[in-house]
Amino acid sequence: MTKDELQQQMIVAMKAKDKVRLSIIRQVMGEVKNIEVNERRDATEEDVNGMIKRLIKQTSETLEMSRQAGNNQERTDTLTEQVSILESLLPEQVSGDALVALIEQVIAETGASSRKDMGRVMGALTAATGGNFDKPAAAEEVGARLA
């Protein structure tokens, strides 16, 4: 997602009076602004997606702790909603048959033949998809093909 698309999402959330979505988008926008100020450059789409992934990880960890504590269901529900909103901001992940086809293509291109080549294949997958794929499923599939 680009910065402009994020701004459009923020406007939509404001008009819909969706406070949770608006707060999450503002949080992402603040982090993007920090990148622009600190590094004195415009934020790229990779920067925005990386920021969203980082926030998903942080919010998911907080959600897991909240579930373990089990004493505040309202907070757990809010965190669950925040994670789903953040995930909706990312482009759709490559998975299933499309991922299997991509794995076959990458193995053929890299000439991988053994488990020693798994890192090279996973690196090529990351480069081909921008890191936007189901990593555990891909690792399992690559491992099975390179046995």
**DSSP letters along 41-78, please?**
SPPPHHHHHHHHHHHHHHHHHHHHHHHHH-S-HHHHHH
pLDDT of the residue at 17: 94
Give the CATH number, domain containing residue 120: 1.10.10.410
pLDDT of the residue at 58: 92
Count of C-beta atoms within a 10 Å radius of residue 29? 18
pTM score, whole prediction: 0.69
Q: Are residues 56 and 120 in the same domain?
A: no
Q: Are residues 77 and 33 in the same domain?
A: yes
pLDDT of the residue at 145: 84
pLDDT of the residue at 87: 87
Q: Are residues 71 and 23 in the same domain?
A: yes
Q: Are residues 10 and 69 in the same domain?
A: yes
- Domains: count for the chain: 2
Q: Are residues 80 and 131 in the same domain?
A: no
| pLDDT tens-place string over residues 71-117 | 888 888 999 999 999 888 888 877 788 888 888 888 888 888 888 88
| pLDDT tens-place string over residues 22-79 | 999 999 999 889 988 999 998 888 888 888 889 989 999 999 998 888 888 888 899 9
* Mean pLDDT within 10-31: 92
Q: Are residues 84 and 33 in the same domain?
A: yes
Listed residues 71, 89, 107: the one ending a domain? 89
Instruction: Report the C-alpha gap between 18 and 128 in whole angstroms.
Output: 35
pLDDT of the residue at 49: 84
pLDDT of the residue at 8: 93
Domain with 107, as residue range(s), is: 96-145
Give the CATH number, domain containing residue 34: 1.10.1510.10
